[in-house]
Structure 1
């Protein structure tokens, strides 16, 4: 029998005794004196107590004190403590002993680093129990560091599935801790306690409740951590597809002006800008801010005005029926609205060289500077690209890596990177820019181990040993799902306003608005729009302005 009380995660005092009367009495006395600050967990055998201790570890609970009877069948108190302190090595340890067991208690001081032993009976507790426990708990509290209470992801560093989950959690502002199964003893313990030791299927995700998820999808994980993935209404005034700066700005302005608004984001609010480690030219932030900070502030603001944000959720098709625009989602549900803003942004363009896809998520990454930076400590990191995103990533990696090399196809960074970033890179000792260099091939076994690079000035082929290649080589829109409905250019960017083909039918008496597509009431803003300026501030501006066009459209509905 083991007693477990559900509630706030107070530090635990674990009491173990095979005598029911003694167990009940000691638990009663401890609860009366310490129940407001500590959780009292009692067990009637060492084996059952050990299972409870393992479950407390899985749930990220902390044990402050073990108070254990010495003479128990099956597993003595000293034997139990020997195993339990391997799980919670900082917990204080005390034995409950009869007078005849004092020699065993004294011997265990050396073997299990016993802190104290108490003789039975302990009446009155005010004199014989509480002073001893007070002293032990005060000593424990002085050295106590709270256990991380968020999501834990256990995997090896080179797991693409793990990278995908960690990137998803980080970009959605969900606190998590990554434990490397190859180098972290705690990770190996938790896998065992979760019952996955003999056939570990990683990544293993442990929730604060102690529940485990084996190789979950982002959607499954999102539901478990409390993210909204389904709309609460069938109809909205405004549906926004995409949660980058443009979409978030539209959501804030739309909802603040009374429109029932829902935003659909397939990965994480913030979009591509949300992956930037430092944005230093955004108005109003003289020392800069990270993309994740910008996304967090915008999401908080949008939710304060009542915006529903569905993440991760993906739009798969749209259609128009009379005055309604209807969007179908990846779970086959539908949402209808009078006005829609397409703000899907863009995705990183893939590098097409031999073996590169094989190592995506296992040494080759698109974006992900913040997720993977800590793992690159004291290593050589290679960044491909010459625009601001590559420069921001290089500056971020320079804080961790021993050396960062930027591979640029052209002769310099000046054609595509802001001058402030170029100046910072030149002033950073461990960043090296290699112009006229391009990646030819990736090499390795189960993970990236080296890259072949060509210097186009002299046609020299070089081999660079590395475990980390980060790619920032432009962007492509994900708009194939709009085929046959929304007019786009040859690269997939959406035409709006005067760029829409003159020969396309227009059913309304009014003229097409500046940010309106070929379909009335469907607008496009931000990086996904043909001819847009690829800057965060520009996207925010377009999203804000577009809401005024939405109001004018709704006035005619």
Structure 2
């Protein structure tokens, strides 16, 4: 029989199995590892587990993880875990299954978005149980922490400055509460109490009592204690860019004893950090969001001793003898033996009438997850045909009434992974329109309609749209590099063999001594990794690999210096 202890406020770990011996073993191992921080609750069937969850929900108790057997007399574990998602959407869901049911477990991951599956028996638990649950509970704790708000944002959904503040807080994983003056009585009351006009939104109220009116991201970072200034005068490795490549280099550099600092202009994770779901990353069979990947990597880097500075714009690179110096927008400098350029790319701006005026007011670049909830029961448009666009469309389709994907090409197959195409084909409220572009955007203070055209410019029709998410092309962040670092005609950084082939002022200066390393730029000691590298593969895994490889070449460079 299950028991729900009254007045206990520790989060719950729920174990479900119809075999008493197995259930007792699960509870024993959970209690041994997690009993100090969590309350272990048991249920002997799917129906009993549903009753337990409903009772916990009525009492306002938190459930962190549900571990359920697959085969039970009153139903299977997949059905239970799927139903549990409605009651506790943040709870991690794990299927406990026998080897013979592995195919069912994998299907559960795809169909019911189960977080993981574990095989019976799981002995020894230190190797086959706890590492998986440690990761899942770490993710749950990070998500739960976002419920304890550090800031309240009073704004308007279609106010660009309000969107910028929300996006900054969300991407930097600062817990905040959004209060829309159009929908929330509390928001209107706070606006009145502040004495500000609606034209001065957003207003950000911090936990310490500070009220900020139309704050910049720099003001928010300073007030919230986000690190922006370096602790040391000199480093072995200065990393520019906090996407997957930069974070991987920070982890490997710091773990191998290099004095490492990473500087990021917006938020850790880069463009990949905005992804709603990355499902083809090795080792995560149910996928993970870009923000989850960024948080895990950031925690790793800091644990090994890397410094991470955010909301810092890099404006220049200098070579001062053997030193490589990165200049920051506020006047600070970061000096080091080596620099890794991992500054990534950004989505190109959509060049159509009305788009610029409505950016931040219904038109967004990237996933803009802060806006996803506002799209409930709305008609939205995703522009682009690569994986990032497909991931956003699948995510938005859970809330929006309809999602229309506009693709300039004649099919998705040319730029999107097969698994995403299959998902999109199976979602009823997603429509894909090929050989179609946005000709113009219209709206009175916010996006309301889009003119569509064929890619040759021939008008097609006008459609209603409350939001448009743009994922077109990639423009590299390399203007700050100056004249010493060679780039291809599109601005991507050349490295390795491409540098060896250069002539003129940018020819490799150490040709008599050695060839450039595989990821080394035309300026010795300056390396490049990830999407910003010329001819790179635009995938998260390849960026992580290049960031890791770069550290090995940096060791070789330092050994020869």
User: TM exceeds 0.5?
Assistant: yes
The offset of 1:458, in angstroms, is 10
The offset of 1:411, in angstroms, is 1.7
Q: Secondary structure at the match of 1:549?
A: helix
Structure 2 partner of 1:374: 373
1:402 aligns with 2:406: no
Aligned residue runs from structure 1 range 97-496, under 5 A:
149-193=149-193, 195-197=194-196, 201-455=200-454, 459-496=458-495
Structure 2 partner of 1:529: 533
Q: Secondary structure at the match of 1:263?
A: strand
Q: 1:348 to 1:192 in 2, by over 3 A?
A: same
The offset of 1:507, in angstroms, is 3.3
Aligned residue runs from structure 1 range 72-111, under 5 A:
none
The offset of 1:462, in angstroms, is 0.5
**CA-atom RMSD in angstroms:** 1.6
Which of residues 515, 520, 524 in structure 2 aligns to 1:520?
A: 524
The offset of 1:164, in angstroms, is 1.1
Which of residues 501, 504, 509 in structure 2 aligns to 1:506?
A: 509
Q: 1:498 to 1:175 in 2, by over 3 A?
A: same
The offset of 1:455, in angstroms, is 3.6
After superposing the two structures, state which structure 1 stretch, 455-464 or 329-338, moved more: 455-464
TM-score calculated relative to the size of structure 1: 0.72
Task: Map Cα deviations across residues 299-341 of structure 1 (whole Å, 9 max, x no partner).
Answer: 0111111111111001111111111011110001111100110
Distance 1:295 1:221 in 2: 20
Is the CA contact 2:317–2:325 (under 8 Å) kept in the aligned structure 1?
A: yes
Task: Map Cα deviations across residues 193-231 of structure 1 (whole Å, 9 max, x no partner).
Answer: 3x3256762110111112111111111101111110111
The offset of 1:188, in angstroms, is 1.4
Structure 1 partner of 2:110: none
Q: 1:199 to 1:419 in 2, by over 3 A?
A: closer
List alignment gaps of at least 5 residues for structure 1.
Answer: 1-145
Distance 2:464 2:198 in 1: 33
Q: 1:534 to 1:342 in 2, by over 3 A?
A: same
The offset of 1:454, in angstroms, is 1.1
Is the CA contact 1:179–1:187 (under 8 Å) kept in the aligned structure 2?
A: yes
Distance 1:382 1:418 in 2: 20
Q: 1:520 to 1:456 in 2, by over 3 A?
A: closer
Is the CA contact 1:229–1:311 (under 8 Å) kept in the aligned structure 2?
A: yes
Task: Map Cα deviations across residues 439-483 of structure 1 (whole Å, 9 max, x no partner).
Answer: 000111211111100145994420011120111112110111113
The offset of 1:292, in angstroms, is 0.4
The offset of 1:192, in angstroms, is 2.9
After superposing the two structures, state which structure 1 stretch, 237-246 or 462-471, moved more: 462-471
Question: Paired residues, what number?
Answer: 411
Q: Secondary structure at the match of 1:515?
A: coil
Is the CA contact 2:149–2:177 (under 8 Å) kept in the aligned structure 1?
A: no
Task: Map Cα deviations across residues 118-155 of structure 1 (whole Å, 9 max, x no partner).
Answer: xxxxxxxxxxxxxxxxxxxxxxxxxxxx9953211111
The offset of 1:502, in angstroms, is 3.1
Distance 1:449 1:463 in 2: 10
Task: Map Cα deviations across residues 90-138 of structure 1 (whole Å, 9 max, x no partner).
Answer: xxxxxxxxxxxxxxxxxxxxxxxxxxxxxxxxxxxxxxxxxxxxxxxxx
The offset of 1:379, in angstroms, is 0.3
Q: Secondary structure at the match of 1:550?
A: helix
Larger Rg: 1
Q: Secondary structure at the match of 2:166?
A: helix
Q: Secondary structure at the match of 1:371?
A: helix
List alignment gaps of at least 5 residues for structure 2.
Answer: 1-145
Distance 1:147 1:372 in 2: 17
Is the CA contact 1:277–1:369 (under 8 Å) kept in the aligned structure 2?
A: no
Distance 1:505 1:422 in 2: 44
Is the CA contact 2:530–2:536 (under 8 Å) kept in the aligned structure 1?
A: yes
Q: 1:449 to 1:512 in 2, by over 3 A?
A: same
Q: Secondary structure at the match of 1:187?
A: helix
Distance 1:505 1:521 in 2: 12
Is the CA contact 1:191–1:200 (under 8 Å) kept in the aligned structure 2?
A: no
Q: Secondary structure at the match of 2:254?
A: helix
TM-score calculated relative to the size of structure 2: 0.71
